[in-house]
Every structure is written in C-alpha cells, then in structure tokens.
Amino acid sequence: MGLKKARKYVLPVFRLTELCGEADPYATQVIIPPAPSRSMTTYFVRSVQEVEEGLEDSARWRKYNYNLLPVVVDQHGVPWDAATVYILSRLGDQVTPNMSTFDGVAEDLSAFLEFLQEKEIDYTIFPQNKLHRPTYIFHGYLKSQVFDGRLGASTAKRRMGAVISFYRWLENEKAFSPAFPMWVDRDHYLTFKNAHGFETGKKIKSTDVSIAIPKQYDPFDGAIDDGGKLRPLPPEEQRWVFEALAHLGNTEMTLIHSFMLATGARIQTAGTLRVRHVRLELSEGEQEFRFPVGPGTGVDTKYDKLMILFIPRWLYERLRIYSSSDRARERRARAVGGDSEDQYLFLTQQGSPYYRSKKETLAFDPNNKVRHQKRGQTVRMFVGHHVIPYIRRKHDKRFRYQVHDLRASFGMNLTDQQLALVERKQITLAQARDFVRIRMGHESSATTDIYLNHRSRLKQVYAAVDSHEQYLRNLIEATWEGKLIEQS
C-alpha cells in the first residue's frame, strides 16, 4: 500500500509541555508502555507557562493550552517540526488567537509539504539557479494549476502567501540561512480613504513569487461590497426563501433567517443569541426592541464591533415564545451547560450551538472532543442541501444565495422604504442616509451610499447595454439585408 499524502490534522486538546525532574511541584509523570522492541519508558513533564507582570506583588500565569490546534503531518503521519513550531510561535504572539486563521495556515502549509514530497524537494536548499529554488518551483506549480483550472486564483494567492510568511519566520528566527535569495522583495505604496473619508497611504511588501489576482468588476452581478460580496435578494426571491423554509418546517432555521432579514445581523450574531436576551416583556407601546450586541453583551459581531440592533416587536415575541417551547427546552437539556438563561437560544437537535461564541473558543476546554469550530456550517449546509434545491425545483433552476445575503437584503429593503419617503418629501435624502447607516451599523457613510445608489446604478447599466445592443442589432441587420438585396 502506498504512502499517504501530507495533510492537516486537528488536535482537540493540546498542552505545551517541557521536560522536568520528578521533584518539580508541577511535574506530571508520562509512561510509554513497553513494546516488543523496547522497554517501558517513564519521564516527567510540566506545562510551559509564561509569567505576565501584573500588580506589584502578584503575577498572572497563562498556560500554553489550546483547543483545535492544527498540525501539519507528512506522508508517514509525523508532524512537520518546522511548521508546528511556526504555528505555535504565531499563536504565542496573540492574546486572543483565532484558531480558524491558523487552521487555514496549516491547510496551506500541508499543500506545500505535499508538493515537496511529490517532487522530492528539500525546502531548505536554495541553489544558485533561481528556477530550482523551492519558492520559485512552488510559484510556477501554483500558476500552472490556476491556468489548467485545477485551483482557484484566490487559493493559489493564499497558499503562496502562507509559504512566504513561513520562510520569513524561519529566516528571522535564524532557523536556516539560504545560500541564495528565496525571492526578490518589492515595495508598493497604496493610497485609500479611511472610514472618515480622509486619504491615507500604506507601504506594502511584495515579492516576485507572490501571486496577484487582477480585480474584475462585473456591474451585472448585483452584488454589494459590505464586509464581503453580498447580493440583495429581490422581494420575489425573498418570498421564495421563506416559502421553502415553510415547506421544510425547521423552526430554528426559519427563526435564524427571520432574525437576519429583519435586523441585518450576520450569522455570528444570530448564532450567539442567548436565552436571557429574549426573556424581557416589552411595554405596550414598544414597537421594536433596541438590542446592544458586541463585546460585553454575550453576542458576537464582526470585528468585535459594538452596535445596536433593532428587533421588530412581532419577531421578538416569536423568539420569546420559542425560548419557552418544549422543543427549545429539550435541545437545551442536551447541551453543555444544560437548560439555563445563558444557554444559546438556537441549538441543533443534539444540543450543539450553530455558532460558538468567541469567548468560549478562547477558553481552554481540557475535555474537548470536536475537531472543528462551530461557525454556522450547519446553517450553510441546510441552505445548500435543502433551501436552494427546493427553490430551483419550484421557481428558478439558476437560483443561488448565501446566508449573509440576508443582511444585504435587509439593507436594500430599508433603503427602498426610506427612498420612497424621500420621493414623497416626508424626509430628506440626508435623513434617509443617516437612518440606513445607523440601522446597518456602518461606520462610513460611503458604505451606506452603495445601498442608496445600487438600484439606480443597475438601471443605468442595463439601459446603456440595451441601447448599445439595439444599435449593434440595427447596424448588423441593415448590413445583412443590404447583402441579400445585392444577391437577389
């Protein structure tokens, strides 16, 4: 049987330890059982700890313990030592590391190691001939993969970037000294406007082995750039989605979709709602619930941004009723932590959260068994496996959407409503703009303007295209008809 390929392996629990003597107060005994070719081995280790200076007579200790640590292993199943130390070093530099980021780094480095093993290349040897150096060979390999359609350009760019960062770290740590340059560095200067509209500049470092992706602008894709490419669903498609949800009958998925479309929340916000957040009794005149989200509230937001969501009364009441339902209680009873006010509002049938909060992912769990983070994958799978197929069967074979398109749909619904008030001269355009900006949680009005201009921009593009196509049709048909006349 052939050797396996290099791959990424995720450790549910990792403790960084060092050898110590039996007398060490933190010593833990490790016993390796005897085998046919060796006798029993016994040694002692202690957890590696870092002391951080605190108050004058105290110190705070932080253990190097991690859940979901990604490790790059070779074709024999042996961890790649350089990549392992590299990931641990980067983890140690961060107070609140995002393990999904390092999961991606390990994925890219495992692809690099697989390439090295297949081509039998030593990653530390850099000969005089530039084209024989590992970085240049891998660069050429990735570009050929993109050209042949076997790899996406963005994936190739990311993998090459991970390899460059890995080699920079090796060189800075003096882990090796290449005989010849790994690449040629280049400095580029970018100018852009910040969130307040002021122009600023930034120097970025690039290399001749970096992979650039030409930006392509498609005015017909109907997308809005709001923390990612989002497509506002037209009202008809929004109806299709909720028709599908009604047919499928999954209460949690319906409520999550409703919450995102009615408030503009992202999946990490909807997925980290707690039971206690929907247990308040609204006053008789309260038509919406002002709901703070972000750090300190127990609900996650993108980039840890503090903001206010406005939940319509009718939706808040539905969430409150659901939280007290037998269905919700049964799911909470199966969850870690049980049926408590601080439990996640939305749980799977097995009692798992759809999205695990950032605070919990940073807390070390010595009993962790899972090998992946809960980041809304179940919701996305439900959309891809159930909602979209239903709509394609019933309405449009080309229909597509992603769960965060609900945020853009909320923004466009809000914008259309406000612009209608502007047309009736009930509010000014500035008031409409500010209203949408606050409800969407935009720091910059420039992002809000994308929503305000979206409809008119699409109409302008389609009008220009229709006019140009009509001109070409008339020109070509007239020419063709002239030829037919000459031939007759």
**190-245 tens-digit pLDDT:** 666 555 556 676 767 789 999 988 766 555 556 777 777 889 999 999 999 999 99
Cα–Cα distance measured from residue 462 to residue 120, given in angstroms and rounded to the nearest whole number: 54
Q: State yes or no: pLDDT of 459 exceeds 70.
A: no
- So what's the pLDDT on residue 209? 94
- Which amino acid is it at 17? T
38 against 416, higher pLDDT: 416
Cα–Cα distance measured from residue 68 to residue 53, given in angstroms and rounded to the nearest whole number: 28
Q: What is the 3-state secondary structure (H, E, C) of the chain?
A: CCCCCCEEEEEEEEECEEECCCCCCCCEEEEECCECCECCEEEEEEECEEEEECCCCCEEEEECEEEEEEEEECCCCCECHHHHHHHHHHHHCCCCCCHHHHHHHHHHHHHHHHHHHHHCCCCCCCCCCHHHCHHHHHHHHHHHHHHCCCCCHHHHHHHHHHHHHHHHHHHHCCCCCCCCCCCCEEEEEEEEECCCCCEEEEEEEEECCCCCCCCCCCCCCCCEECCCEECCCCHHHHHHHHHHHHHHCCHHHHHHHHHHHHHCCCHHHHHCCEHHHHCCCCCCCCCEEEEEEECCCCECCHHHCCEEEEEEHHHHHHHHHHHCCHHHHHHHHHCCCCCCCCCECCECCCCCECECCHHHHHCCCCCCCCCCCCECHHHHHHHHHHHHHHHHHHCCCCCCCCCCHHHHHHHHHHHHHHHHHHHCCCCCHHHHHHHHHHHHCCCCHHHHHHHHHHHHHHHHHHHHHHHHHHHHHHHHHHHHHHHHHHHC
Cα–Cα distance measured from residue 438 to residue 307, given in angstroms and rounded to the nearest whole number: 9
Cα–Cα–Cα angle for 63, 65, 70, rounded to 5 degrees: 150
- Which amino acid is it at 193? K
**375-415 tens-digit pLDDT:** 899 999 999 999 999 999 999 999 999 999 999 999 999 99
Which token pair is 395?
């309405």
Please state, in angstroms and as integers, the Cα–Cα distance from residue 468 to each residue in 159, 465, 480, 482, following that order. Answer: 42, 5, 18, 21
Which token pair is 57?
């007579």
Q: What mean pLDDT comes out for the span 29-46?
A: 87
478 against 302, higher pLDDT: 302
Which token pair is 374?
């809960």
- So what's the pLDDT on residue 408? 92
**60-71 tens-digit pLDDT:** 445 578 999 999
**323-341 tens-digit pLDDT:** 999 999 999 999 999 999 9
Q: State yes or no: pLDDT of 476 exceeds 60.
A: yes
* pLDDT classification of 488: cutoffs 50, 70, 90: very low
What is the model's pTM?
A: 0.81
Cα–Cα distance measured from residue 111 to residue 118, given in angstroms and rounded to the nearest whole number: 11
Percent of the chain topping pLDDT 90: 62
Which token pair is 94?
């961060």
- So what's the pLDDT on residue 456? 64
* pLDDT classification of 55: cutoffs 50, 70, 90: very low
Length of the chain in terms of residues written: 488
**247-287 tens-digit pLDDT:** 999 999 999 999 999 999 999 999 999 999 999 989 988 99
* Cβ neighbours for 177, distance < 8 A, ≥ 6 positions apart: 171
Q: State yes or no: pLDDT of 52 exceeds 70.
A: no
Q: What mean pLDDT comes out for the span 146-174?
A: 95
14: β partners:
66
- Which amino acid is it at 293? V
Percent of the chain topping pLDDT 70: 85
- So what's the pLDDT on residue 482? 62
Q: State yes or no: pLDDT of 305 exceeds 80.
A: yes
Cα–Cα distance measured from residue 27 to residue 18, given in angstroms and rounded to the nearest whole number: 10
75 against 204, higher pLDDT: 75
Q: What mean pLDDT comes out for the span 138-146?
A: 96
- So what's the pLDDT on residue 60? 46
Which token pair is 216?
């392509």
- So what's the pLDDT on residue 483? 53
CB atoms within 10 A of CB 453: 13
Q: What mean pLDDT comes out for the span 440-446?
A: 84
Cα–Cα distance measured from residue 345 to residue 54, given in angstroms and rounded to the nearest whole number: 37
Cα–Cα distance measured from residue 342 to residue 365, given in angstroms and rounded to the nearest whole number: 18
- So what's the pLDDT on residue 54? 45
Q: State yes or no: pLDDT of 147 exceeds 70.
A: yes
- So what's the pLDDT on residue 468? 57
Q: State yes or no: pLDDT of 447 exceeds 90.
A: no
- So what's the pLDDT on residue 270? 97
* Average pLDDT of the chain, as a whole number: 87
- So what's the pLDDT on residue 354? 96
Q: Residue 350: is it exposed, middle or buried by C-beta count within 10 angstroms (0-12/13-18/19+)?
A: exposed
Q: What mean pLDDT comes out for the span 284-310?
A: 93
Cα–Cα distance measured from residue 473 to residue 390, given in angstroms and rounded to the nearest whole number: 38
First to last CA, the chain: 75
Q: State yes or no: pLDDT of 454 exceeds 90.
A: no
Q: State yes or no: pLDDT of 131 exceeds 80.
A: yes
- So what's the pLDDT on residue 467? 60
* pLDDT classification of 306: cutoffs 50, 70, 90: very high
- So what's the pLDDT on residue 434? 92
- So what's the pLDDT on residue 216? 61
- Which amino acid is it at 277? H
Cα–Cα distance measured from residue 318 to residue 314, given in angstroms and rounded to the nearest whole number: 6
Q: What mean pLDDT comes out for the span 171-176?
A: 92
